[in-house]
Amino acid sequence: MTKKLPTVSTCIPNYNHSRFLPNVISTVLEQSCPPTELLVIDDGSTDDSIQVLQEYGDRHPIVRLVRNDRNHGVVYTLNRCLELAKGAFVHCLAADDWILPGFYERSLALLAEHPQSDISCTTCVQFEDSTQTTAYPFHPWSLTPRYFTPDELVGVKSNGHIISQTCLIRRSALLEAGGFRPELRWHCDWFLNWVVAFRSGICHVPEPLAVMRLLSTSYSTGTRAWEEQRVVLDHLLHLLKDPQYRDIRPYFSRSGILFSLNDRQAVVRTVLENHELCDSDTRGMVVEMLERAYGRDLGPPRQPASAVQYSSEYLGPKVSRLVDRWKASNRRVVIFGAGDHTANLFQWTTLADALLVGLVDSNPSLHGQWYQGLEITHPDRIKSLRPDVILISSQAYQEAIYQTLRPLEVDGIEIVRLYATTRG
């Protein structure tokens, strides 16, 4: 019996983005599983946004236009979206971004399988507007869709990246978490995402199903101004001391999640300049952040999991040397193996910096899925990918895979085994 999918309100705050509205609205309306409503709140635009939105509203019943009485700013408008939304889940989408086919279908299906989760996310593509180029900077957390408990989420190496454009969040959980806090400005959605995720766990779809457009006028550019950033970070760190968030403070500390704020020096400086923030818990969060930034333990000795330790301490330097050599000669690399070993390599080494052109695996259940911007395909596709290098990403099956690939060496393809072997 097919599980009933939750209802969703797609919420788009808009201010003078009429040129982008047709694109973002079309990508929502064309979804295989469209939302219950598409709520667009215009924040006092002076361009022709209202005309564009009214035309869509006339043609599509799910499009609902609401107008602020004047320009109030994006945080106010996000909270108004939350107040007016009718769906059980809310998807806040910037007017200049867009989503890709299958976004709602895959996200809602996973949420239906895990009703304990109040939030889902996918990975994301970055689109640089000035150069019209794309990038895949956000690493998936797994090779297949899955639910992460709060404790599991703490251990996810890529965890700083819950991208708001990719999130479906239960409306009641957003309200319980306090909504979008104006004092957190460009970090208000970041904070809210993690509060909800650390309370309920999170569903993750490891596919790039949304696109983030990078503009010089984006709201988050305010993070570059130290004085403004200091005030925001001060509010954020004090908020974590508030009794309302006592339940998730240990998760913030253990995860080192402050690492994802990008301006780590600003975090440290904010703590040092405010004696109220110099308690042991806050210092612990900063230490965890720095450990993630610099890849080593700065506090009491802790024993990492063996696979993680091996990936970071042994394979890290080895892969780094290989990647540097491949990049120097512009060599095209195919990875053989799409299991946990490959996930560890992406999380703990510089493998993502190589010129990766393919990911193959003999497991047919993985074929057609995406990881690191690469579609997982059958090994018989290797030649069509025209690789210069095949990296075997498996320890248990390394030699068996190598014997299968060995004939390709006569074609000049380099086959790389990461683990020592007694054979040549």
Structure confidence at residue 308 (pLDDT): 43
- Report how far residue 112's alpha carbon sits from residue 117's, in angstroms, rounded to the nearest whole number: 9
Structure confidence at residue 419 (pLDDT): 75
239 within some domain: yes
- Is the domain of 186 the same as that of 247? no
64 within some domain: yes
String of DSSP letters for 65-118: EEE-SS---HHHHHHHHHHH--SSEEEE--TT-EE-TTHHHHHHHHHHH-TT-S
Q: Work out the number of other CB atoms within 10 angstroms of the CB of residue 137.
A: 12
Q: Which residues pair with 332 in a beta bridge?
A: 355
Which of 107-116, 156-165, 174-183, 244-253 is predicted least confidently? 156-165
275 within some domain: yes
- Is the domain of 233 the same as that of 186? no
55 within some domain: yes
- Report how far residue 35's alpha carbon sits from residue 91's, in angstroms, rounded to the nearest whole number: 9
Give me 159's structure tokens.
């965890």
Contact 270, 261 (CB under 8 A): no
176 within some domain: yes
36 within some domain: yes
* HSE value, Cβ hemisphere, 13 Å, CA-based, for 92: 26
- Is the domain of 184 the same as that of 278? no
Q: Work out the number of other CB atoms within 10 angstroms of the CB of residue 187.
A: 19
Count of residues in the chain: 424
- Is the domain of 153 the same as that of 249? no
Give me 274's structure tokens.
């405010």
Structure confidence at residue 418 (pLDDT): 85
- The 10 Å CB-count burial string (b at 16+, else e) for 42-72 is bbbbeeebeebbeebbeeeebbbbeebeeeb
CATH (domain of 189): 3.90.550.10
- Is the domain of 287 the same as that of 373? no
Q: What is the pTM of this model?
A: 0.69
- Is the domain of 179 the same as that of 239? no
What is the signed CA dihedral for 69, 74, 76, 80, rounded to 10 degrees? 80
Structure confidence at residue 265 (pLDDT): 66
pLDDT band at residue 229 using 50, 70 and 90 as cut-offs: confident
- Is the domain of 338 the same as that of 268? no
Residue 195 has pLDDT above 90, yes or no: yes
- Is the domain of 89 the same as that of 193? yes
1 within some domain: no
Which of 272, 294, 316 is where one domain is finished?
A: 294
User: Average pLDDT, stretch 363-372?
Assistant: 82
- Is the domain of 89 the same as that of 205? yes
Q: Which of 169, 108, 154, 162 is nearest to 138 (CA)?
A: 162
Structure confidence at residue 303 (pLDDT): 37
- Is the domain of 323 the same as that of 382? yes
- Report how far residue 89's alpha carbon sits from residue 172's, in angstroms, rounded to the nearest whole number: 8
- Report how far residue 226's alpha carbon sits from residue 203's, in angstroms, rounded to the nearest whole number: 34
pLDDT tens track for 376-392:
998 888 989 999 999 99
Structure confidence at residue 105 (pLDDT): 97
Which of 55-59, 193-197, 235-239, 302-306 is predicted least confidently? 302-306
Residue 288 has pLDDT above 90, yes or no: no
422 within some domain: no
**Number of domains present in the structure of the chain:** 3
Q: Which residue has the higher pLDDT, 3 or 110?
A: 110
- Is the domain of 29 the same as that of 166? yes
- Is the domain of 19 the same as that of 69? yes
Which of 274, 294, 314 is where one domain is finished?
A: 294
Structure confidence at residue 332 (pLDDT): 94
User: Average pLDDT, stretch 25-38?
Assistant: 97
CATH (domain of 392): 3.40.50.720
Q: C-alpha distances in angstroms, 379 versus 334, 362, 384, 401, 417?
A: 10, 6, 10, 10, 17
Share of the chain above pLDDT 90, in %: 52
pLDDT tens track for 277-287:
766 677 667 76
Residue 305 has pLDDT above 50, yes or no: no
Which of 252, 271, 294 is where one domain is finished?
A: 294
Q: Which of 357, 343, 348 is nearest to 413 (CA)?
A: 357
User: Average pLDDT, stretch 340-367?
Assistant: 84
* Full residue range of the structural domain in which residue 75 is found: 8-218
